Every structure is written in structure tokens, then in C-alpha cells.
């Protein structure tokens, strides 16, 4: 970064500090713990760096770092505003690549014009055309105000990953209304904090994740992903308003009289009662994303050229895959909700929960011969529920060695002739062994039976070759230790842990380098992979949900490092 180091930044010592939990912090961070007296009474979340509005904490349990705003700072006055991580991600990318953020917005102009049309109607009651002067004026206002531009880019990322937006569109897109939300002030303080932080500690910050830089072969990958001390942010500084630059080192002065979004942060201490009233009286203007989807055009390419392309939870609803990849694909389940057929896609495919319903005959007449192959399962309560109400069937399903899954595999294989359906099977591709286990759902209440099945399958499939790099693929994660689902998620269950020590022994004995799963619909903006410690080794975990901006994760970025 082309600024001087913060004069108050700590010169980090080379020793390690043992914490009360027995966890040793990396030496780059250890001395910082002693700077903050509150850490003496905090066994888990240790403060490493903070200012008036934000702080960086280190979690001693999972050895992770996170940036969080302190209690008085309000992110958004908009009720149910779920875009914070997307907007923070856009803020970091704006610092690094402001011209790419502008191109991303321009690519979505038609989408923005639809949102602005709805926003203007919400504020004025006037129905205007998407090509009207009012809409063009509102669109241009976004491009003239960097802090609003950052917000809009983040919301477009959310649109592309999770579906169309709704609720309080005016505050999200109209310059006049956005000034009342406090988000611009939040972004201003966030940028101020992350720039100070990146100049004080050897970190990579991408808007959600914070990772420590080290002298490994992965450093360049981390540097390319987010903000570090090596980042050149001069281009962004030349565009940001003066109010923001004053909070950044070596800020440049903005010339001209273009109005800027209010950069004063929204504080609970000053607006607490007003915020409460606004949110209590809020009337949602929500439309379900599935209903709104038909009004928006996908502006992204449907083709990716990943060498080993990982994707899950596509839930295709029109009988075809929504993306194209002619290399090697790893489909981690829940691919189809519409009897999808694709004769060209190649790679491996493991069975998810939705495949179990998708392979069933479309006719409800169970006397029809199409049901003949399924008749052996009519007697099972889980199968009856699967036909009548799948949501009530998931936790009744048999563990993955049941004969039912082999019939499912046969049905899917006919639709995807170039895919290898791995129903507790393995395949070697380019020197890497992929083991596909049938784990359609997380059977928490039957985890002992589930883990006995996993153990038996791995013992058979790993065989005698202890050296070949091996990746384990399943739809639901095998257990919490190899899951990308965060503990803060409502779907997280602390009981879903590995309790079979023989599984851990297999991981120690064999060259298992990572695991892939789906199931939890984790947006790509949150994270698509992480490194975990399990069985005394460092493994990767990947979860790559499909979206318009994420048609797959390039696994080679991790396999190359491992190999």
C-alpha cells in the first residue's frame, strides 16, 4: 500500500504468547494481545486492533480473525438489511479495482434501471418508465458518488448470488433516500479501519475474511484476493470524497463540486429511539425472489473454464444445467429439481437429497409401470414421506449404504452419461483420487450409524494406497470438523461432530488432502474454502454453491498447492 505505516503501529515481536486456553498465537499477533486490558477477562475473543468504531478479534477456539463494528455504530437504518458482507466486499474491491467496480455496475444497468423504477414509485407514487429521465438521472447519481457506488455494487453481488432484491428499495438505490440510511458513514469508517489495519499487521482483508500472511506459497494468492500492505489503492483514493480521504493516510484532495453522500456515521447513542421507531413501524415491500426472477436478465457468462470445477446446490428448474464447463466437474449434489439431462458434462457426481425426489416418476399414479423399480421401497415410512412431503423425510432417510441409492445412481447415470456417479465409489483423475460418499443430509440424531457407514466406506475405498492425494466428496458435510458452515448459522448443530476415532486414524494414515460438500447454501461471498486442522494435518474444505456469479470453484488453486 502506498502510504506510510501508522506511526502508532506496533513493532511485532518474534515470540509466542501462550493463552489461557493453551492456544499459541502466531508471533505476528501475540504481542498485540497485551495491549488491551480487556483480553485478560476474555478467554475466547481477544482484541488485536481497534479504533472508535471497529475492532479486529482473534477467536482462540477456531483460531480465526474477524472484523466487527462496536456497539454504537449502526450499519444500516433499513430493517432486515442483509447486504453488509456484500457491501464490505465491494468496498475492499473498490479500493483495489475501482474501474472494475464501475464496469460491474455498468454491466448491470438494465437491472439497476428496474430497481430505480420501483424505488421512484416507492418514494413518489409516480410510475415512470425504465428509460425515463428520472431513472437516467438516478442512475447517473450512483456513478457520481463513490460511497453509493460501493453500496450498489455490493447489492448487485447479492442480487447475483441469492436472487432479486426487495424491501426498502428507495433507501438502497436513490441518492436522496440513501443519505438517511447511515450506510455511507459506515463504509467511510470501515475503509478507514481496514486501511489502518492493513498497514499495521501482515493481513489480507477481503470484506469478510481476515487471514494472516506468512512466507508460504499461498501468500500471493491471498495478496491477490484482498487488501494487504502491498495493495496499491492510489486510484481509489483519487475518486473517494474528501471526507473519506481525511480518515486515510496520505489522502488526496478531491477537486470539484460534485455532492457526496453524507459520511457521518449513524450512532445508536444519538439515533437509538428513532431507529427503534422506524423499524417497529416498517412495512415490508418484499416480493419472493422466485417471483421477481423472470423480470431480470442474467448478464454474466454461463461458461467457465475451470480445470477442476466444483459446484453444488444448482437446483435447476428448467430441465437443463444453467452453466457450461467442458473440463472436469465435481457436482456435490442437489443439482436438479426438474429431471435435468446433460449428455456433455463430464466429471463426478455425488447424490444429494433433492436427487432422491428428482429421479421419481413425474406421474402420481403409482400403478403406472414407471413406478415398478421403486416398489420394493413402498413399505418404508421414509419413502412414503419422500413421495408425499420430502421436507418431512430428510431425517428419516437410511444411511448411505442402502440399496435404494444404487437405483438412484442408475437413474442419474442415464441422464448424465459422461459423469461418473459415485455412490460410495472412487475415481482417479489427473493423479488425484476422488472418493464420493452418499451423504444426502446430516443425520445428527443418528450420527453413530452415519459415521460407521463413513468408516466402512472409507476403509474399503482407500484400500492399500496411502500415498495418492485424495479428496472426499459428499453432499452434506461428513461432520462439523470438515464443514464450511459457521457456528453462527442457525443450521449449525454442535452435536454433529466426529465421534469415531478410527475415521481420524484413516485421515492420519492416508494422504487425504481435503473435503468437498454442499447442502448448506453458503454464498460465495462468505467463503468458498477454508483450511482446517483435522487428524494432525492441514486440510482444505470447499463448498461452492451455484449462482449467477459463481458457476463453480477452481479446485486446482488448492490441489496445486497440495501437490
Instruction: Quick: pLDDT tens for 485-517.
Output: 988 889 999 999 999 999 999 999 999 999 999
pLDDT above 70 for 124: yes
pLDDT above 90 for 62: no
Q: Which residue has the higher pLDDT, 392 or 167?
A: 392
Maximum alpha-carbon separation in the chain: 79
| CB burial string 231-241: b at 16+ within 10 A, e below | bebeebbebbb
- Residue 440: what pLDDT? 97
| CB burial string 117-153: b at 16+ within 10 A, e below | bbbbebeeeeebebebeebeebbebbeebbbbbbbbb
Dist. CA 228–CA 390, nearest whole Å:
47
- Residue 473: what pLDDT? 98
pLDDT above 70 for 537: yes
Helix 98-107 vs helix 84-96: crossing angle, to nearest 10: 130
Q: How confident is the model at residue 213 (pLDDT cuts 50, 70, 90)?
A: confident
Q: Residue range 370-376: average pLDDT?
A: 94
Q: Residue range 43-55: average pLDDT?
A: 91
Dist. CA 284–CA 182, nearest whole Å:
19
Q: How confident is the model at residue 21 (pLDDT cuts 50, 70, 90)?
A: very low
Instruction: Retrieve residue 239's grid coordinates.
Output: 475518486
Q: Determine phi and psi for 545, rounding to 5 degrees.
A: -70, 145
- pLDDT, averaged across the chain: 88
Q: Residue range 186-197: average pLDDT?
A: 94
Dist. CA 246–CA 205, nearest whole Å:
21
pLDDT above 90 for 343: yes
- Chain centroid to CA 333: how far? 17
pLDDT above 60 for 20: no
Q: How many C-alpha atoms does 158 have within 13 Å on its Cβ side?
A: 22
CA angle 337, 338, 339 (to 5 degrees): 110
- Residue 27: what pLDDT? 79
C-alpha distances out from residue 189 to 70, 90, 147, 437, Å:
11, 14, 11, 46
pLDDT above 70 for 12: no
Q: Are strands 529-534 and 537-542 parallel, antiparallel or unpaired?
A: antiparallel
- Note the pLDDT tens digit of each residue in 252-274: 333 333 444 456 788 888 888 88
Full DSSP string of 47-86: EEEE-SSEEEEEETTTTEEEEEE-TTEES-SSTT---HHH
For 284, left (φ over 0), alpha (ψ -120 to 50), or beta? beta
pLDDT above 50 for 51: yes
Q: Which residue has the higher pLDDT, 77 or 275?
A: 77
Q: Residue range 424-452: average pLDDT?
A: 97
The residues pairing with 423 across neighbouring beta strands, listed in sequence order, are none
Q: What percent of the chain has a predicted confidence (pLDDT) above 90?
A: 66
Dist. CA 320–CA 27, nearest whole Å:
52
pLDDT above 50 for 236: yes
Dist. CA 447–CA 439, nearest whole Å:
11
- Residue 296: what pLDDT? 87
- Residue 527: what pLDDT? 80
Q: Which residue has the higher pLDDT, 443 or 284?
A: 443
- Residue 63: what pLDDT? 80
**DSSP 8-state class, residue 426:** E
Global pTM value: 0.78
Q: For residue 211, what are the contacts with CB-CB under 8 A and spacing of at least 6?
A: 65, 203, 204, 222
Q: For residue 293, what are the contacts with CB-CB under 8 A and spacing of at least 6?
A: 163, 164
Q: For residue 157, what are the contacts with CB-CB under 8 A and spacing of at least 6?
A: 86, 89, 90, 525, 549
- Chain centroid to CA 137: how far? 34
Q: Which residue has the higher pLDDT, 421 or 163?
A: 421
Dist. CA 5–CA 561, nearest whole Å:
31
Q: Residue range 208-214: average pLDDT?
A: 85
Max mean pLDDT range (58-62, 142-146, 556-560)? 142-146
Domains belonging to the chain, first-starting first, are 74-298 (no CATH), 308-562 (3.60.21)
Q: How confident is the model at residue 34 (pLDDT cuts 50, 70, 90)?
A: confident
User: Contact, 313 vs 440, CB < 8 A?
Assistant: no
- Chain centroid to CA 112: how far? 23
Dist. CA 340–CA 321, nearest whole Å:
7
User: Contact, 399 vs 453, CB < 8 A?
Assistant: yes
Q: How confident is the model at residue 220 (pLDDT cuts 50, 70, 90)?
A: low
Instruction: Retrieve residue 220's grid coordinates.
Output: 500471493
- Residue 19: what pLDDT? 43
Q: What percent of the chain has a predicted confidence (pLDDT) above 70?
A: 89
Q: How confident is the model at residue 286 (pLDDT cuts 50, 70, 90)?
A: low
Q: Residue range 102-131: average pLDDT?
A: 94
User: Contact, 163 vs 295, CB < 8 A?
Assistant: no
pLDDT above 60 for 402: yes
Q: Compute the Cα dihedral for 383, 385, 388, 391 and give only its sign.
A: negative
Q: Which residue has the higher pLDDT, 127 or 524?
A: 127
Amino acid at each position: 500500500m502506498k502510504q506510510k505505516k501508522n506511526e502508532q503501529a506496533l513493532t511485532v515481536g518474534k515470540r509466542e504468547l501462550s493463552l489461557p486456553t493453551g492456544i499459541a498465537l502466531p508471533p505476528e499477533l501475540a504481542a498485540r494481545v497485551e495491549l488491551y486490558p480487556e483480553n485478560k477477562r476474555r478467554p475466547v475473543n481477544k482484541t488485536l486492533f481497534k479504533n472508535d468504531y471497529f475492532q479486529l478479534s482473534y477467536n482462540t477456539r477456531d483460531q480465526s480473525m474477524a472484523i466487527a463494528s462496536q456497539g454504537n455504530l449502526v450499519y444500516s437504518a433499513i430493517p432486515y438489511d442483509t447486504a453488509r458482507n456484500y457491501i464490505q466486499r465491494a468496498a475492499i474491491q473498490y479500493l483495489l479495482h475501482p474501474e472494475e467496480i464501475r464496469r460491474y455496475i455498468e454491466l448491470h444497468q438494465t437491472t439497476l434501471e428496474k430497481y430505480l423504477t420501483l424505488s421512484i414509485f416507492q418514494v413518489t407514487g409516480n410510475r415512470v418508465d425504465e428509460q425515463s429521465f428520472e431513472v437516467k438521472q438516478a442512475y447517473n447519481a450512483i456513478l457520481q458518488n463513490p460511497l453509493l457506488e460501493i453500496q450498489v455494487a455490493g447489492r448487485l453481488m447479492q442480487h447475483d448470488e441469492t436472487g432479486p432484491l426487495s424491501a426498502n428499495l428507495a433507501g438502497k438505490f436513490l441518492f436522496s433516500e440513501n443519505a438517511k440510511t447511515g450506510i455511507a458513514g459506515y463504509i467511510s469508517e470501515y475503509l478507514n479501519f481496514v486501511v489502518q489495519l492493513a498497514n499495521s499487521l501482515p493481513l489480507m482483508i477481503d470484506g469478510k475474511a481476515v487471514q494472516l500472511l506468512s512466507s508460504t506459497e499461498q501468500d500471493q494468492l491471498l495478496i491477490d484476493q484482498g487488501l494487504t500492505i502491498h495493495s496499491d489503492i492510489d486510484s481509489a483514493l483519487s475518486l473517494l470524497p474528501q471526507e473519506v480521504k481525511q480518515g486515510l493516510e496520505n489522502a488526496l484532495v478531491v477537486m470539484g463540486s460534485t455532492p457526496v453522500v453524507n459520511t457521518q456515521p449513524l450512532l445508536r447513542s444519538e439515533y437509538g429511539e428513532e431507529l427503534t421507531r422506524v423499524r417497529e413501524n416498517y412495512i415490508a415491500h418484499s416480493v419472493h425472489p422466485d417471483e421477481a426472477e423472470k423480470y431480470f436478465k442474467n448478464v454474466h457468462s454461463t461458461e467457465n473454464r475451470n480445470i477442476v470445477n466444483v459446484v453444488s446446490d444448482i437446483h435447476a428448474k428448467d430441465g437443463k444445467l444453467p452453466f457450461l464447463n467442458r473440463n472436469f466437474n465435481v457436482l456435490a449434489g442437489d443439482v436438479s429439481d426438474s429431471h435435468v439431462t446433460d449428455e456433455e458434462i463430464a466429471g463426478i457426481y455425488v447424490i444429494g437429497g433433492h436427487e432422491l425426489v428428482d429421479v421419481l416418476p413425474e406421474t402420481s399414479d403409482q400403478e403406472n409401470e414407471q413406478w415398478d423399480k421403486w416398489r420394493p421401497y413402498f413399505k418404508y415410512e421414509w419413502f412414503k414421506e419422500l413421495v408425499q412431503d420430502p421436507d418431512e423425510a430428510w431425517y428419516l432417510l437410511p444411511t448411505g449404504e442402502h440399496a435404494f441409492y444404487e437405483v438412484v445412481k442408475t437413474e442419474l447415470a442415464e441422464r448424465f452419461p459422461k459423469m461418473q456417479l459415485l455412490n460410495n465409489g472412487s475415481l482417479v483423475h489427473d493423479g488425484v483420487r476422488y472418493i464420493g460418499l452418499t451423504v444426502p443430509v446430516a443425520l445428527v440424531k443418528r450420527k453413530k450409524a452415519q459415521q460407521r457407514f463413513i468408516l466402512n466406506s472409507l476403509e474399503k475405498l482407500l484400500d492399500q494406497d496411502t500415498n495418492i492425494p485424495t479428496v472426499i466428496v459428499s453432499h452434506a458435510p461428513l461432520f462439523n470438523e470438515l464443514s464450511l458452515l459457521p457456528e453462527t448459522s442457525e443450521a449449525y448443530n454442535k452435536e454433529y461432530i466426529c465421534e469415531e476415532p478410527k475415521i481420524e486414524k484413516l485421515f492420519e494414515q492416508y494422504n487425504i488432502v481435503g473435503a468437498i460438500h454442499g447442502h448448506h447454501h453458503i454464498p460465495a461471498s462468505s467463503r468458498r474454502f477454508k483450511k482446517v486442522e483435522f487428524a494432525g494435518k492441514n486440510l482444505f474444505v470447499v463448498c461452492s454453491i451455484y449462482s449467477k456469479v459463481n458457476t463453480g470453484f477452481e479446485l486446482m488453486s488448492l490441489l496445486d498447492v497440495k501437490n
